[in-house]
Chain A
Amino acid sequence: MEILAPLLQYLISGLTNGAIYALIALGFGIIYNATTIINFAQGEMVMLGALCAISIYHVNPSLPLAFAGGVAMVTVIGLVFERLALRPVRDPSPISLIIITVGGAVFIKGIAMLLWGKDPYSLPPFTSNVPIGLGPATILPQNLWVLGVGALLVLFLEAFLRLTLVGKAMRACAYNPRAARLVGISTGRMVQLSFGLSAALGAAGGILIAPLTLGVYDMGTMLGLKGFSAAILGGLGSILGGVLGGLLLGVAESLASGLISSGYRDAVAFLILLVALFIRPQGLLGGKQ
């Protein structure tokens, strides 16, 4: 019991953070599938989601409205980003696309700093703030919201890609863009859709954790990197892989800081990631290239 009690607590903390990493990783995966681009501005969508929702909440204190409004605004931003920054690219080599999205991330972060200033903001929790006892550990209702809504979003995404026509078209583009075009799928549309969808997922993640972590203009960079790590760990483009990668990374971090050393937390997490990559170069659930 003595040892188990903190372990459970580490697990709760790790899974909550991991769920957010997973949502960001899915954003990376969706865009990668449609375009083979890694969109390094993905983390900034998380930040925008949190800050937009907070602003809406300040005007009209209704959380469902803030959630829906935040996600909608960021989806539009994702679409605009694709239209302005990626569509006009002349020579889409992976490295120049990386630099463009990095530049985009810097740009978006800068704009957010001008709009919202440098101070952090808080968003009230979705429901009560009283910790729930869970055996020897405690959990906040907001942690449950993160895990629950996160799981729902993943299920929804999976269903969308497997069951709807549009989703099937997106998957077709991922497998073979030329063949997809031959059967009449507009690949441009699908690329657009993938950016909108991943922006929405990122925003949802940002709004979900805002009550736990506060919202501030520079929160996106680190989250983006962690999400990218999770996507790679799980295997690029695999939905289940992204989820698994995110959760594993979150739990690894939390256990590392609890059991080994809080100072070397990220170092331990990244070491695990490196070892995993060296053993399985295509990620945990990635297919052979």
Chain B
Amino acid sequence: MRLPRLLNRWLLFTAAVFLIALLMENEYYLTLLNFIGIHTLLVVGLNLLMGYAGQISLGHAAFFGLGAYTSGILTVTYGLNPWLAMLAGMIISGVAAFLIGIPALKLRGYYLAMATLGFGVIVYIVFTEAQAWTGGPSGLAGIPALHLAGLSFDTPWKLYLLIWMVVILILILSASIVDSRIGRALRALHDSEAAAESLGVNTQRLKLLIFVWSALYASLAGSLFAHTMNFIAPSSFDIMFSIKLVTMVVVGGMASVWGSLLGAGVLTILPEVLVFFHDFEVVIFGGILMVVMIFLPRGLVRGLLDLKEFRRYKRQGGAFPV
């Protein structure tokens, strides 16, 4: 009985995704949802790394950028097929993640954060300075739309279908990874590296695997981003964006695939809503971030569930098991 229920859930979600799109009469909301989709891909990958494997990365914007720039440069300068360029981007990002991951993942905690941050800074500077390839800070223009069998993904509505199909597939894939043997090994790793090691888990290899895996997601998101914007510039791939991604993971809730969707959604929409506060936007944004983390340190999904449980316990007159 378990499988049909699971299947049901995904079908329900897919239906919801399309229903929502049909309700959006304004293309602006579709564009907003498209960016949420792209951010979700990034956040799911980072969440696998942070929430399940317990390793932090402050340099994920670099893989996002590598995907975007590989797609951009190969299609604009060399006229390559966008799908091949996307694949090339994933290969480059995967190899980069592999090479940086081998030494970096031996580091722990803040030292790992620093190493990934340093990697992010270096890649960002290369985007800015290698002007012959990347167009430098003024950006790379004229990136074509994606094509598939005569269909060109050039309007928000068509892009929405494409991006959210990818998001649904990636969510299903990630959820099944979490439920698999690897997922269990990851959770063991998260709880105690030594214990996982003693149970026969090759922790170093596992960490590397998941690091490369999340870089592949980021690269895929980057390619989609490049073809959605038709234009890319280094400022989209700076350290601040890496930090924002970590924030999305934590606000949504670590070790939760759905939390990733929520975190990406909330933190992409929030600045749009705060736009009405003009210069106060930044202050309010920072304030909300602090308040959410102070009172719901396990993220929105877990936090709200905790509150619900707490209320139920209170209603039943029992004590809340802390």
Say what secondary structure dominates the interface of chain A. Answer: helix
Distance, CA A137 to CA B250, complexed state (A): 50
Is A138 interfacial (CB 8 A cutoff)? no
State whether A103 touches B286 (Cβ < 8 A): yes
State whether A89 touches B110 (Cβ < 8 A): no
Set of chain B residues within 8 Å of A88, measured between Cβ atoms: 294-295
Is A271 interfacial (CB 8 A cutoff)? yes
State whether B283 touches A114 (Cβ < 8 A): yes
- Interface 9-mer from B1-9, B121-129, B191-199, B206-214: B121-129
Q: How many residues of chain A are within 8 Å of chain B by beta carbon?
A: 46
- Interface 9-mer from A119-127, A140-148, A224-232: A224-232
Annotate B260-295 by CB proximity to A: 1 below 8 A, 0 otherwise.
000000000000000000011111111111100111
Annotate A84-128 by CB proximity to B: 1 below 8 A, 0 otherwise.
010011111111101110111111111101100000000000000
State whether B286 touches A274 (Cβ < 8 A): no
Within 8 A of A (CB), among B73-104: 103-104
State whether A266 touches B121 (Cβ < 8 A): yes
State whether A104 touches B290 (Cβ < 8 A): yes
Measured CB to CB, the closest approach of chain B to A212, in angstroms, equals 23
Measured CB to CB, the closest approach of chain A to B267, in angstroms, equals 11
Say what secondary structure dominates the interface of chain B. Answer: helix
Q: How many residues of chain B are within 8 Å of chain A by beta carbon?
A: 46
Interface residue from B114, B290, B295 paired with A229 (Cβ < 8 Å): B114
State whether B119 touches A267 (Cβ < 8 A): no
Within 8 A of B (CB), among A266-289: 266-267, 270-271, 273-274, 277-278, 281-283, 289
Measured CB to CB, the closest approach of chain A to B261, in angstroms, equals 18
Distance, CA A265 to CA B118, complexed state (A): 13
Is A219 interfacial (CB 8 A cutoff)? no
Contacts A232-B110, A267-B121 given; does A106 touch B282 at CB 8 Å: yes
State whether A263 touches B129 (Cβ < 8 A): yes
Kindly count the residue-residue contacts between A and B in the assembled complex, taking CB atoms under 8 Å apart: 133
- Interface 9-mer from B139-147, B172-180, B239-247: B239-247
Is A236 interfacial (CB 8 A cutoff)? yes
State whether B126 touches A94 (Cβ < 8 A): no
Measured CB to CB, the closest approach of chain A to B181, in angstroms, equals 26
State whether A107 touches B286 (Cβ < 8 A): yes
Distance, CA A100 to CA B297, complexed state (A): 9
Interface residue from B106, B122, B246 paired with A99 (Cβ < 8 Å): B246
State whether B295 touches A113 (Cβ < 8 A): no
* Nearest-neighbor residue (CB-CB) of B125 within chain A: A267
Interface residue from B104, B287, B295 paired with A103 (Cβ < 8 Å): B287
Interface residue from B103, B110, B125, B288 paired with A266 (Cβ < 8 Å): B125
State whether A281 touches B290 (Cβ < 8 A): no
Interface residue from A113, A225, A264 paired with B125 (Cβ < 8 Å): A264
Is A38 interfacial (CB 8 A cutoff)? yes
Annotate B215-254 by CB proximity to A: 1 below 8 A, 0 otherwise.
0000000000000000000000001000100110011001
State whether A90 touches B111 (Cβ < 8 A): no
Interface residue from A93, A110, A267 paired with B282 (Cβ < 8 Å): A110
Is B205 interfacial (CB 8 A cutoff)? no
Distance, CA A108 to CA B285, complexed state (A): 11
State whether B287 touches A107 (Cβ < 8 A): yes
Q: Please name 14 further chain A to chain B contacts, defined as beta carbons within 8 Å, in addition to the given A274-B115, A281-B107, sorted by A numbering.
A: A93-B297, A95-B56, A95-B246, A99-B251, A100-B294, A103-B287, A103-B288, A104-B290, A105-B286, A109-B286, A110-B281, A110-B285, A229-B118, A263-B129
A-B complex: 9 closest residue pairs judged by Cβ atoms = A103-B289, A107-B286, A106-B286, A110-B283, A110-B282, A91-B297, A103-B290, A270-B118, A96-B297
